[in-house]
Amino acid sequence: MKAGRFPASLATPVLLAFAVFIVAPCVMLLVKGLEPTAETGEWPDFTNVLGVFDSKIGQQALNRTIRISLIVTAVCMLAGYPVALFISRCGPRWRGLLLAVVIFPFLISAVVRAFGWTVLLGDSGLANKGLIALGLIERPIALVQNEIGIIVGETHLLMPYMILSLLAVLQRIDPNLRHAAESLGASPVSVFWRIVIPLTLPGLLTGTLLVFSLAMTAFATPFLLGGGRTPILTTLLYDYAFTLFDWRLAAAIGIVLLILGILFVTIHRFVSSRGMRSYG
């Protein structure tokens, strides 16, 4: 993007804040996380970071973080796409209302929502009672204090990001493109797969990037819905920092999360640049 004659001074405050509040903590994270464990050791010492991969609990948390983030991303994509498609085809009045419904959860704190889910998904909650009433299960199954709870909570938390990303591109699609495809013999199913999906690819990519990175770094939702026995990287980090007061190990997990994030963004960018080469 060209800055042109845009006064750089206007951007300075925020850029300065970014430098102080993002770059500085990252540096401190690296300093702390790579601190030598032994008195004699030298900086950088990768023992702690590698220790995360070595310890059973660290490895479990890492795997669980990746697994949950991928599942949440997939669910948001599969469930969010039809919603976005539906909203984009609605008249302006309904579209505004539905959009408000989609955005509404943003107004409620993640903590409140997590408690809400705890009630709904608990042993005597609506979900279990409903499933028993339908005869699908005989006794309550565990839906919270485990991965299911985290997945449900995070999906609810992050769905709007996916829907809004998709809506942004869906609403820009020229309806004549659909008509053109139809006139050329494409059935609605064919139009969807061959025209609508490719045209919404940029939105899908934005949505997955947002949802995955937010799912990976979410804390309150997995903390409250996952319970103590299903640690993910962020909750493990919290335990190390505030229960064990081992800031070095906590920083090491921070570094792992950072690597994971950078890795995902890199893969994402690679996929986008290949898939979107023709979009200009």
**Positions that interact with another protein (CB under 8 A):** 174, 176-177, 179-187, 190, 194-195, 198-199, 201, 278-280
Peptide bond into 44 cis (omega under 30): yes
Determine contact, residues 239/231, Cβ cutoff 8 Å.
yes
Residue nearer to another protein on the CB measure, 196 or 260? 196
- Select from 103, 212, 234 the least CA-distant residue to 163: 103
Asked whether the beta carbons of 102 and 87 are under 8 A apart, the reply is yes
Nearer to another protein (CB atom), residue 105 or residue 198: 198
Rounded distance between C-alpha atoms, residue 175 and residue 178, angstroms: 5
At 203, is the secondary structure helix, strand, or coil?
helix
Other CB atoms within a 10 A radius of the CB of residue 189 amount to 8
Smallest separation, CB 198 to another protein (Å)? 5
User: For residues 81 and 78, what is the distance between their CA atoms, to the nearest angstrom?
Assistant: 6
User: Residue 32 Cβ, how far from another protein at the closest point, in Å?
Assistant: 46
Q: How far is the CB of 81 from another protein (least distance, A)?
A: 18
Distance of closest approach, residue 93 Cβ to another protein, in angstroms: 13
Please report the DSSP string for 134-183 in residue order: TTS-SS----SSSHHHHHHHHHHHHHHHHHHHHHHHHTTS-HHHHHHHHH
Nearer to another protein (CB atom), residue 40 or residue 176: 176
Nearer to another protein, 7 or 185 (CB): 185
Closest distance to another protein from the beta carbon of 182 (Å): 4
